[in-house]
Amino acid sequence: MNYDIKEPPKLKNNVLEDHIDKNLANLIGKMDPKDINKLYRAVHFLKIDALRKCIACVMACRVWIEPTLENYNKKKEEIGLKEELTT
């Protein structure tokens, strides 16, 4: 794996491979949220900023919503939100 980790650009969609390295996306993208949280905290402690931002990008892609009411309601149901999101 290439250890020259680049910081991800701003999200424009929820396709993880559009934002971070494909190998890294496959590795982190398969993890469950609790393990991702543990990894994020370890990387934050070790001050590996580019990897920390890539991990945050994984979670952001999981909750990214296209700006339509239909997509909002679908994502809300998918991630189990009981209350409305606010700006």
What letter represents residue 42's amino acid? A
- Read off the pLDDT band of 2 (50, 70, 90): low
The model's pLDDT over 35-84, given as tens digits with 9 standing for 90+, comes to 999 999 999 999 999 999 999 999 998 888 777 888 888 888 887 888 88
7: left (phi over 0), alpha (psi -120 to 50) or beta: beta
pTM summary value: 0.74
